[in-house]
């Protein structure tokens, strides 16, 4: 059986020269790769006690929903501003070029609930840092943050110091 890293397609000089883009579509398009990615993330969670999986659109949905299903937990989506139909709270965060706003339903996390956040990739950490703020502002406790891939050279993990962070694959560069 192939290692998880072997399913990830690396595309040099995208989106700009000197960057190696780590493409997860090659993982998703292979049945064994998809199963291995979900299993790897779930193994990183282990027997941790928690109530809710939270994932950002769209790739956090791809990996978070099967984990929630397998572990018999609820799934809470975090979306871009204006995409959720009920009352929300929001958090603005910085992107490489500009800023963005994420929202969560105001009633999605109950005070005291233990939360696992799942996403495909940690780069600079801004998206997940914003999600942590949203969860905590609703009274939730982030007990683990899990990624399929980590670009260690972008130091996103530093923004999440104080939290239990795990990645199935770690790439040393950007």
Point out the residues that are catalytic. 59, 96
Taking the C-alpha atoms of residue 67 and residue 123, their distance in angstroms, rounded to an integer, is: 22
Sort strands 88-95 and 74-80 into parallel, antiparallel or unpaired: unpaired
* Lookup: tokens for 111: 């005070």
Taking the C-alpha atoms of residue 82 and residue 79, their distance in angstroms, rounded to an integer, is: 8
Residue 112, judged by CB atoms within 10 A of its CB (0-12, 13-18, 19+), counts as exposed
* Lookup: tokens for 152: 């260690």
Taking the C-alpha atoms of residue 107 and residue 124, their distance in angstroms, rounded to an integer, is: 28
Question: 92-107 burial, b if ≥16 CB within 10 A, otherwise e?
Answer: ebeeeeeeeebbbbee
């Amino acid at each position: 059986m192939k290692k998880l890293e072997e399913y990830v397609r690396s595309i040099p000089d995208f989106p700009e020269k000197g960057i190696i883009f780590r493409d997860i579509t090659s993982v998703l398009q292979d049945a064994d790769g998809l199963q291995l990615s979900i299993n790897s993330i779930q193994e990183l969670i282990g027997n941790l006690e928690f109530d809710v999986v939270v994932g950002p659109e769209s790739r956090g949905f791809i990996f978070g929903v099967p984990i929630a299903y397998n572990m018999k937990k609820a799934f809470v989506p975090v979306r871009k501003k204006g995409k959720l139909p009920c009352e929300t709270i929001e958090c603005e965060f910085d992107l490489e070029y500009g800023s963005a706003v994420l929202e969560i339903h105001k009633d999605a996390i109950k005070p005291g609930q233990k939360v696992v956040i799942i996403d495909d990739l940690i780069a600079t950490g801004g998206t997940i840092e914003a999600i942590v703020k949203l969860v905590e502002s609703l009274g939730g406790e982030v007990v683990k943050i899990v990624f399929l891939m980590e670009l260690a050279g972008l130091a996103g993990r530093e923004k999440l110091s104080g939290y239990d962070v795990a990645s199935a694959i770690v790439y040393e560069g950007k």
